[in-house]
Amino acid sequence: MSYVDEVLAKVKEKNANEPEFLQAVEEVLNSLRPVIAVNEEKYKKLALLERLCEPERQIKFRVPWIDDNGQVQVNTGYRVQFNSAIGPYKGGIRLHPSVYIGIIKFLGFEQIFKNSLTGLAIGGGKGGSDFDPKGKSDNEIMNFCQSFMTELCRHIGANTDVPAGDIGTGGREIGYMYGQYKRIRNLYEGVLTGKGLSFGGSLARTEATGYGLLYLTNEMLKSNGIDIAGKTICVSGAGNVAIYAIQKAQQMGAKVVTCSDSTGWIYDEEGIDVALLKEIKEVKRARLDAYAAARPSAVYHDKKAEGSNVWDVPCAVALPCATQNELGIDDAKKLVGNGVLAVAEGANMPTTLEATEYFQEKGVLFAPGKAANAGGVACSALEMSQNSERMIWSFEKVDKSLESIMINIFHNIDAAAEKYGFKGNYVVGANIAGFEKVADAMLAQGVV
Ligand code: GLU
């Protein structure tokens, strides 16, 4: 049995109830086979892969808070500090009822390689809670965030672990968490990213994941002789990633005709109106049927009632920007049947392994999330730099840095894939390129 197979078997046995984590590990370790083969005995002796798959630290805690009726509610909080070989732990906080340790571990594991690909000094971590922000009042959100940070604040710090946003955690939540951290620790430091502009946030951080996704997608298309201008694009999701992906795609001359939320999706034959979408999602915090009600060219589809989704719509480029495993094999078949040329993941692991392999078999260009959505965390690292030097960079400076980081990521993953004989396989390329730097640092730092 090869070393990779041995480790895979051990990881499966040890984490049997965490399918998302196993899915992420399986994809990465399978891609690393050609790199591991070169130094198999050495890596095995040093248990490099076992260490890579075991978080350095996992914190699980009670989050009690009081709702607007005076009722005490209790949620579970998590922070997984996965790998600090190349920098302080860095990764978002997910607030969603689906959160359990397996989700946080999968996200933290992905973050190790994603953060490495940015070329910046950030390790991998992730946190969250099973708290559901939907339908909560501002006061309830603040109560929850303060309680969450009351425990988390003893485990994080500007040079230790720097959380940020993710699903359910946006600017409002980061503000409340930052206020509580400062109050308890009496430190004004860059302990969180995605902060408001008046207290250490970076210009372009809000846009960064979506913009970065398009910078990388555009580079991938260009390198394969395809012009993004005039192409029809389907986007899923209607959160921060989706909104700014749609905006940048339109600026590049493409036409984005779909977006979705947890209950339904929109087809807008004239192209999504980003200003209206922002108003509905960011200001009113309403559902997408409100978009269709306000826009004659748009049709709203109820997901459950119709059993349909955005991948039914023919497009040249598909950008899944909602959540993990939202695009399965049936969706992949529909997209390929409709002639899709490229898929790039704005969310973390939105495509199942089976669907990913199907796209690759059919010659569809496929950019995995750890490369394609790295723009958010890359910009977070730029926010950390600005906080450290107590300076504020212009929007243009941050955006230009972001663009060059994303273009570099594409060329690095492309080169890594080619070097190991997998030309055009950007999944293999991203995993190998992300791994190499982390492995080098881990080996240099000894058995820790
Ligand atoms: N949650 C984002 C991600 O999945 C951003 C993390 C960060 O900025 O630290 O990469």
Compute, in angstroms, the gap from residue 298 CA to the centroid of ligand 1. 31
CA within 13 Å, CB half, 13: 7
Q: Is 91 in the pocket of ligand 1 (CB under 6 A)?
A: yes
3-state helix, strand, coil in the chain (%, to 5): 50, 15, 30
Phi, psi (degrees; rounded to nearest 5) at 348: -90, 120
Instruction: Output the six-digit token pair for 79.
Output: 């922070």
Structure tokens at 414: 């492309």
Answer whether 0.75 is exceeded by the pTM: yes
**Predicted local confidence at residue 82, as pLDDT:** 99
Ligand 1 pocket check for 90: Cβ under 6 Å: yes
Residue type, 418: E
Q: What is the model's pLDDT at position 392?
A: 97
Measured in angstroms, how far is the CA atom of residue 91 from the centroid of ligand 1?
5
Residue 446: what pLDDT?
A: 98
Give the chain's radius of gyration (CA, Å).
21
Count CB-CB contacts under 10 A for residue 328: 16
Residue that is written with structure tokens 């049997």 in the block: 16
Q: How far is the CA of 376 from the centre of ligand 1 (A)?
A: 6
Relative to the CA of 193, which ligand 1 atom is closest? 8
Q: Cα angle at 151 between 122 and 14, to 5 degrees?
A: 65
Residues 409/415, Cβ–Cβ less than 8 Å = no
Domains belonging to the chain, first-starting first, are 1-54 (no CATH), 56-189 (3.40.50.10860), 206-372 (3.40.50.720)
Active-site annotation holder among 114, 126, 281, 370: 126
CA distances from 293 to 134, 259, 266, 268, 296 (A): 21, 15, 11, 12, 7
How many angstroms from the chain centroid is the CA of residue 208? 11
Q: Can you give the pLDDT at residue 144?
A: 99
Structure-token pair, residue 99:
């959160």
Q: What's the 169 CA to ligand 1 centre distance in angstroms?
A: 10
* Dist. CA 124–CA 126, nearest whole Å: 7
| pLDDT for the residue numbered 26 | 97
pLDDT at 123: 98
Q: Which atom of ligand 1 is the closest one to the Cα of 111? A: 10
In this prediction, residue 385 carries a pLDDT of 98
| Alpha carbon distances (Å) from 44 to 238, 271, 435, 439 | 44, 52, 16, 13
pLDDT at 301: 97
For residue 89, list its beta bridge partners: 123, 161
Q: Using a 6 Å cutoff on CB, does residue 108 contact ligand 1?
A: no
Contact 79, 94 (CB under 8 A): no
Q: Is 126 in the pocket of ligand 1 (CB under 6 A)?
A: no
Read off the DSSP letter of residue 169.
Answer: B
Give yes or no for residue 92 CB within 6 A of ligand 1.
yes
Answer for the pair 411, 151: CB distance below 8 angstroms, yes or no: no
Phi/psi at 340 (5° precision): -60, 140
> 348 CB under 6 A from ligand 1?
yes
Q: CB 253: neighbour CB atoms within 10 A?
A: 11
Question: Tell me, what's the pLDDT at 61?
Answer: 98
Which is it for strands 89-95 and 161-164: parallel, antiparallel or unpaired?
A: parallel
Q: What is the pLDDT along the chain (448 residues), one digit of tens a residue?
A: 999 999 999 999 999 999 999 999 999 999 999 999 999 999 999 999 999 999 999 999 999 999 999 999 999 999 999 999 999 999 999 999 999 999 999 999 999 999 999 999 999 999 999 999 999 999 999 999 999 999 999 999 999 999 999 999 999 999 999 999 999 999 999 999 999 999 999 999 999 999 999 999 999 999 999 999 999 999 999 999 999 999 999 999 999 999 999 999 999 999 999 999 999 999 999 999 999 999 999 999 999 889 999 999 999 999 999 999 999 999 999 999 999 999 999 999 999 999 999 999 999 999 999 999 999 999 999 999 999 999 999 999 999 999 999 999 999 999 999 999 999 999 999 999 999 999 999 999 999 9
Rounded CA separation 12/19 (Å): 9
Q: In testing the pocket of ligand 1, which one of 380, 382, 386 has its CB within 8 Å of the most ligand atoms? A: 380
**CB neighbourhood size of 262 (10 A):** 13
Q: Does 164 sit in the ligand 1 pocket, CB within 6 Å?
A: yes
Q: Report in angstroms the alpha-carbon separations of 143 from 78, 161, 179, 303, 420.
A: 17, 23, 12, 33, 51
Q: How far is CA 56 from each of CA 8, 156, 161, rounded to the nearest angstrom?
A: 18, 14, 12
| Residues across the chain | 448
pLDDT of 380 reads 98
381/192 Cα distance (integer angstroms): 10
Does 126 participate in catalysis according to the annotation? Answer: yes
Taking the C-alpha atoms of residue 170 and residue 95, their distance in angstroms, rounded to an integer, is: 10
Q: Give percent of the chain with pLDDT exceeding 90.
A: 98
